[in-house]
Structure 1
């Protein structure tokens, strides 16, 4: 006798508790801020609103934590309209925490030397894992992460591939500002590493509930 549809139906996963969401936000944003500090120390330009924030920081006297807040501000409307109030509030908190950690980390962590290629790989891995943690708890690092996640949930597009295309445009533009071929190539590597983490580990239909 074939199993009934009720038997085949998977049980609905339990939602994360508020304490679990808070721990995930703290963990993800701390990892992202550390990756961002590595990019900054090596003079790299990565993708997304993080990359735009670095460009703004390099091109002006605006401190990096403030640049993060300014660049992400226009995207909260999209987040609220398309992803819901809970997602928007968590993302707003995540960006604020990342900006705070990006300000605090250099005061307790001195990096005297880091090769651009090392910063690219480590920073890309840290930021990729950070985004995965936040996505799993219905949050993001704001900006283009919001757009990429919305397109994945709405149309089934891979968040990693969407983000990679957008990031390529940002890195190419940032490369004109940096005007240093080794750093531009390392920036491209950072984007590839970050988005490979997302493309391999964040697939449509796997991590939307909870």
Structure 2
């Protein structure tokens, strides 16, 4: 193994450790004091914690071991090793913070607990993913199902989370806590998306116009030269069509609208979200 690869792996394990601390603090400081759950096997472990005398860390390991055994060959050696490490350190830290340090609730309010607990869990899981690992559970099941069928991993995870939430209805007397748990899962997913893809302030714009040459020059002069002209055939009698593809900062969208309005009233814009950008400049 090269020195560069070793350094990269060391960084990954340090990132996993940091992420595990955040995850453990989220569980101990926000979820358990307010009897809220999250998604995946962490949520299942919390449910079992509320009805048994076992520690959360013990339950996380107990729930994940069978899944790891079954899913080992689907994960890949390095990914599997880091996943085992992640599960082990999260379990140890949760019990350490809870039983040894006896950390008290950061907030005693189910709503605030669901929001900030979701933030902590989202940050932790996103950093684990960045380190090319997983916290086990639903990710393992999703990989197995996806490899054996055409079902998307995200669909499997959603089904598992829904099952856990529905199961909590039989444990919590207060239905509001179930709704708070849904809020926490939603917040976590948004935090994960934000960290992994970034909060882009740009939009993808498809400009359909008959004044391609004129608009190309004006756009390059006022917005910059980055863009692509796409050529194709229309549905009616193979009529030749041209479309300009652009990535535009949100603050400059109005400038683009004015350019099109003044120079090609028949042209129209299709504006979509830029959820992730990779490559030069990103």
TM-score norm. by structure 1 comes to 0.79
Corresponding residue number in structure 2 for 1:85: 77
Corresponding residue number in structure 2 for 1:114: 108
Matched residue count = 193
Report deviation, 1:156.
9.8
Corresponding residue number in structure 2 for 1:194: 188
Match of 1:27 among 6, 13, 18: 18
Distance change (3 Å), C-alpha of 1:158 and 1:202: farther
Distance change (3 Å), C-alpha of 1:112 and 1:198: closer
Which consecutive unaligned segments of at least 5 residues does structure 2 have?
A: 198-274
Distance change (3 Å), C-alpha of 1:123 and 1:176: same
Instruction: Kindly indicate whether structure 1 or structure 2 has the higher relative contact order, using CA contacts under 8 Å at least 6 residues apart.
Output: 1
Show CA shifts across 1:42-90 (max 9, x none).
Answer: 1112221001101111111111111111011111134421121111111
Corresponding residue number in structure 2 for 1:45: 37
TM-score norm. by structure 2 comes to 0.61
Corresponding residue number in structure 1 for 2:207: none
> For the residues of structure 2 that align with 1:28 and 1:193, how far apart are their CA atoms?
17
Match of 1:102 among 80, 84, 94: 94
Residues 1-210 of structure 1: pairs in structure 2 closer than 5 A: 17-37=8-28, 38-106=30-98, 107=101, 109-111=103-105, 113-148=107-142, 157=152, 159=154, 162-202=156-196
Show CA shifts across 1:3-36 (max 9, x none).
Answer: xxxxxxxxxxx85622201211111111111111
Question: Larger radius of gyration, structure 1 or 2?
Answer: 2
Corresponding residue number in structure 1 for 2:223: none
> For the residues of structure 2 that align with 1:152 and 1:45, how far apart are their CA atoms?
26
Could you say what secondary structure the match of 2:171 adopts?
helix
> For the residues of structure 1 that align with 2:129 and 2:182, how far apart are their CA atoms?
23
